[in-house]
Structure 1
Amino acid sequence: MSKRLIPLFNRVLVQKIVAPSKTTAGILLPEKSSKLNSGKVVAVGPGLHGKDGKLLPVAVKEGDTVLLPEYGGTEVKLDNKEYVLFV
């Protein structure tokens, strides 16, 4: 990323993984069967502070592969790439 987007608090920036539409043998896959709800974590906020003042870090780190909910998140476009910001 040429422009760096740093999430605040416990937010996580995820880039969706695009499923291949063809197999290595050249067979075309239907659109419904190739739909994956997974993504790669691009950036993570530092976390939230608890009632005692201690920092509670986020459970994921950059580079992790995560499962995504079907709905939710805020879509962000940066350098012609689409990302989703989750809380």
Structure 2
Amino acid sequence: MPRFSKRKQLLCHVQDVLVTREASALLRDVLSSEDSDEDNLEEFWEYKYEDIQGTRYATRLSHYQKRKNSLAQATLQSGAHV
């Protein structure tokens, strides 16, 4: 049985939340219930799902993600000494 990465597990969890929220949104629509707070939460979860999909290392600790940060810091330090 294959093991899924933590990123894949996180994507599956958020996708499950999105499916549940979509079903709730359909029920609210059928019942003509206006709830802007729920709509905002749906937008948040959709954004979160897209953000995780766009991030390669979503679940890694920050000290493993130093490549971008170290390059930016080196640029700032070289500019500060000039």
Common topology (TM > 0.5): no
Q: TM-score, normalised by structure 1?
A: 0.26
Q: TM-score, normalised by structure 2?
A: 0.27
Larger gyration radius, structure 1 or structure 2 = 2
Higher helix proportion: 2
